[in-house]
């Protein structure tokens, strides 16, 4: 058995083990009602407007591009509609844009049969979250380098995103958008602001953590003084112990995916580890719902653009991501989806756009401050054995195994 075949066998076992776990989609429940207004920072409390999707799949292209075309797979509702046509008009490349990613593991399972046989998946590039990007780049090696000659706007990449552990020189990946994991709470239920993990654990009402292991364990690692950017199973033990104690003594009542959104708004849930964009949607109608980055730090995640190794169009795919690294084009995208853009200069372009777009500049989770970026961490890559250890221990503690 070759190394690749052995890896595929192990991956199949891992996917089978995870088959019963919740399918998480950060973009569920998030609408596109327009720019969020009146979203303010209160102490460590920060609210952000993020993008949304549903579980549907759909495609679309940018119109006639002559003989050149490129196919891109992305998450649902993660693209400004006008940007598709603008890309084709600017580059002459026809765009086959597919909204066919709803979950990292699900998408991996879908493309695995073809990519494990060096066969096309019908897309030249896809957009996947950090930990899955690590798997694609360093484990299964199913991506190819970006064409640097066709990606001059890479110089606009935010410094804080330039050197993740899974791709230190960004040879194989470029962030599409980023978001932050922290703590959401209903001020009426908690009676006070939440600034730390200990504050969160002291809440008397119902509380939950995320069923996404890296988000929850990452926050607990930061709270116990460990560095999640260099995570090992050994270094995570204090975090696991703190998490286990919280479950044992009833400080945490369970795990959630995006279900916390409605529960926080209704008061059925006092506090939850959460994704910033989810909370921003309900904060418009319920200002008692807040989002805090803990004083010890929050988790920063990105969805990453990568070129499939079976594609014969790395140049055209690189031109696609280069288009969105022009600050003006990035600002159009940010105004629509309202995640953290990976591109420097977006704030100035939003101001030029005026109206609601200009008001987004005052939201630190859409246009983050240097202080905010210094207080968030990207969960580091895990090898296969350690990832299995992390998953099994987390499942054991949370009862999700």
DSSP code per residue over 244-306: HHHHHTTS--EEESTTHHHHHHHTS-SEEEEEHHHHHHHHTT-TTEEEE--TT-EEEEEEEEE
> 62 by DSSP, 3-state: which?
coil
Cα separation, 266 vs 241, in Å, equals 31
Count structural domains, the chain: 1
State residue 309's pLDDT score.
98
pLDDT band at 122 (very low <50, low <70, confident <90, very high): very high
Q: Is residue 154 part of a domain?
A: yes
Give Cα 368 to chain centroid, integer Å.
15
pLDDT per residue as tens digits for the range 326-356: 999 999 999 888 788 999 999 999 999 999 8
pLDDT band at 277 (very low <50, low <70, confident <90, very high): low
Q: Is residue 24 part of a domain?
A: yes
Expressed as residue numbers, the domain containing 100 is: 3-32+54-178+302-342
Q: Is residue 258 part of a domain?
A: no
Would you state the structure tokens that stand for residue 370, as one six-digit string?
């240097």
Q: Is residue 78 part of a domain?
A: yes
Q: Is residue 74 part of a domain?
A: yes
Listed range (4-18, 113-127, 204-218) with the worst mean pLDDT: 4-18
* CATH number of the domain enclosing 114: 3.40.190.10
pLDDT band at 378 (very low <50, low <70, confident <90, very high): confident
Q: How many C-beta atoms surround the C-beta of residue 54 within 10 A?
A: 15
pLDDT at 1 over 90: no
Q: Is residue 393 part of a domain?
A: no
Listed range (30-34, 112-116, 255-259) with the worst mean pLDDT: 30-34
Q: Is residue 330 part of a domain?
A: yes
Would you state the structure tokens that stand for residue 66, as one six-digit string?
């002559």
Would you state the structure tokens that stand for residue 375, as one six-digit string?
């207080």
Q: Is residue 370 part of a domain?
A: no
pLDDT at 204 over 50: yes
Cα separation, 212 vs 171, in Å, equals 27
Which among 274, 342, 276, 253 is positioned nearest to 303, based on CA atoms?
342
Instruction: Determine the average pLDDT of the residues in 256-267.
Output: 80
pLDDT per residue as tens digits for the range 92-113: 999 999 999 977 878 999 999 9
Listed range (173-187, 242-256, 359-373) with the worst mean pLDDT: 359-373
Residue 98 falls in which region: left (phi positive, over 0), alpha (psi -120 to 50) or beta:
beta
């Amino acid at each position: 058995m070759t190394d690749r075949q052995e890896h595929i066998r192990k991956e199949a076992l891992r996917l089978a083990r995870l088959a019963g776990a919740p399918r998480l989609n950060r973009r569920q429940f998030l609408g596109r009602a327009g720019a969020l207004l009146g979203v303010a920072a209160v102490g460590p409390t920060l609210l952000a407007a993020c993008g949304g999707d549903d579980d549907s799949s759909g495609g679309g292209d940018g119109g006639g591009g002559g003989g050149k075309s490129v196919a891109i797979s992305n998450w649902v509702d993660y693209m400004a509609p006008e940007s598709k046509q603008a890309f084709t008009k600017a580059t002459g490349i026809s765009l086959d844009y597919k909204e066919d990613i709803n979950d990292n593991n699900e998408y991996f399972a879908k493309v695995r049969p073809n990519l494990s046989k060096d066969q096309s998946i019908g897309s030249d590039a896809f957009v996947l979250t950090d930990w899955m990007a690590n798997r694609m780049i360093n484990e299964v090696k199913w991506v190819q380098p970006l064409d640097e000659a066709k990606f001059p706007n890479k110089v606009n990449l935010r410094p804080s995103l330039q050197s993740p552990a899974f791709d230190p020189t960004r040879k194989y990946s470029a962030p599409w958008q980023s978001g932050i994991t922290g703590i959401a709470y209903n001020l009426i239920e908690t009676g006070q602001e939440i600034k730390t993990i200990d504050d969160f654990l002291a809440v008397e009402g119902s509380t939950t953590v995320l069923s996404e292991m890296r988000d929850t364990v990452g926050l607990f690692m930061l709270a116990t003084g460990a560095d999640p950017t260099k995570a090992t199973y050994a270094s995570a033990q204090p975090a696991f112990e703190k998490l286990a104690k919280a479950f044992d003594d009833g400080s945490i009542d369970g795990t959630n995916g995006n279900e916390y959104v409605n529960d926080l708004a209704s008061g059925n849930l006092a506090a939850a580890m959460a994704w910033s964009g989810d909370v921003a949607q309900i904060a418009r109608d319920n200002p008692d719902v807040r989002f805090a980055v803990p004083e010890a730090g929050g988790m920063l995640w990105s969805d990453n653009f990568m070129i499939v190794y079976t594609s014969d169009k790395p140049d055209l795919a690189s031109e696609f991501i280069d288009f969105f690294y022009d600050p003006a084009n990035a600002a159009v995208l940010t105004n629509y989806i309202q995640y953290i853009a990976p591109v420097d200069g977006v704030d100035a372009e939003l101001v030029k756009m005026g109206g609601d777009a200009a008001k987004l500049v005052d939201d630190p989770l859409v246009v983050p401050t240097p202080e905010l970026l210094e207080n968030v961490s990207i969960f580091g890559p895990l090898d296969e054995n350690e990832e299995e250890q992390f998953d099994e221990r987390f499942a054991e503690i949370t009862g999700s195994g």
